[in-house]
A and B are shown apart, each in its own frame.
Chain A
Amino acid sequence: KAGVTQTPRYLIKTRGQQVTLSCSPISGHRSVSWYQQTPGQGLQFLFEYFSETQRNKGNFPGRFSGRQFSNSRSEMNVSTLELGDSALYLCASSSNRQGRSGELFFGEGSRLTVL
């Protein structure tokens, strides 16, 4: 079974640009979550989508947005990039078969560098 796939793995942008990151969950998983990982703030929850609906949202500015498609694939977008947005962005999927006790399965991440 293929794992969670994130693209691109690495990207470099300049301040003010926007970026879109993609995530393909494990087949059959309907929940997709996004996390930002930085050395200073650690792992922070961005948002979670379940069956195309945003089910929870972290404490990030409106420049951070996401969506989920009918095939459960998800994208997140960051507009007007700032230097502080440089981070590893991790996507995770989960199956609802174990209820909310189920673990998250993470992708390898997309490393964004903002210059």
Chain B
Amino acid sequence: AQSVAQPEDQVNVAEGNPLTVKCTYSVSGNPYLFWYVQYPNRGLQFLLKYITGDNLVKGSYGFEAEFNKSQTSFHLKKPSALVSDSALYFCAVRDMRDSSYKLIFGSGTRLLVRP
């Protein structure tokens, strides 16, 4: 069965400091991995995805994520956090063998960037 774990309910970081939001996954086959962000009372916005190839993926708004197959992790990172990055972040996985576009989401991590 597919699953995604985001072990931290909330991450607090000071503006200008680097941030990391953790994600680990479990799929039977090879994964497609995604990060989405949700602002209050809004839908989800796509940040980045890993399909294959380079383990470091760059995405929107200066975010990047590192795929680690041996640790089955896909942590979201940003070198310098902004107050405007404060939001709810979701990691998601899709099994490459799945014929549909179904995503399995983690429980979400609330990022709070303080000025």
Q: Would B43 and A94 count as touching, CB distance under 8 A? A: no
Q: Would B94 and A100 count as touching, CB distance under 8 A? A: yes
Quick one: given A4-B43, A107-B43, are A102 and B105 in contact (CB under 8 Å)? no
Does A70 touch B at the CB level, under 8 Å? no
Chain B hits for A100, CB < 8 A = 32, 94, 96, 98-101
How would residues 39 to 72 of chain B score, 1 for a CB under 8 Å from any chain A CB and 0 otherwise? 0011111100101000000000000000000000
Q: How far is the CB of A99 from chain B (nearest CB, A)?
A: 9
Chain B hits for A11, CB < 8 A = none
Q: Would B107 and A104 count as touching, CB distance under 8 A? A: no
Q: How far is the CB of B61 from chain A (nearest CB, A)?
A: 15
Q: How far is the CB of B6 from chain A (nearest CB, A)?
A: 10
Chain B hits for A107, CB < 8 A = 43
Q: Would A101 and B32 count as touching, CB distance under 8 A? A: yes
How would residues 75 to 115 of chain A score, 1 for a CB under 8 Å from any chain B CB and 0 otherwise? 00000000000000010101000001111111111010000
A-B contacts counted at CB < 8 A amount to 66
Q: Would B43 and A106 count as touching, CB distance under 8 A? A: yes
Q: Would B46 and A55 count as touching, CB distance under 8 A? A: no
Chain B hits for A92, CB < 8 A = 44
Q: How far is the CB of A90 from chain B (nearest CB, A)?
A: 6
Q: Would A101 and B102 count as touching, CB distance under 8 A? A: no
Chain A hits for B94, CB < 8 A = 100
Choose among B46, B99, B103 the residue with the greatest number of A CB atoms under 10 Å from its CB.
B103
Q: Would B100 and A55 count as touching, CB distance under 8 A? A: yes
A residues near B (Cβ < 8 Å) are 4, 31, 33, 35, 42-43, 45, 48, 50, 55-56, 58, 90, 92, 94, 100-109, 111
Pick 15 A–B contacts, CB within 8 A, sort by A. A42-B106, A43-B108, A50-B100, A55-B99, A56-B101, A56-B102, A102-B101, A103-B34, A104-B46, A105-B46, A106-B43, A107-B43, A108-B41, A108-B42, A108-B43
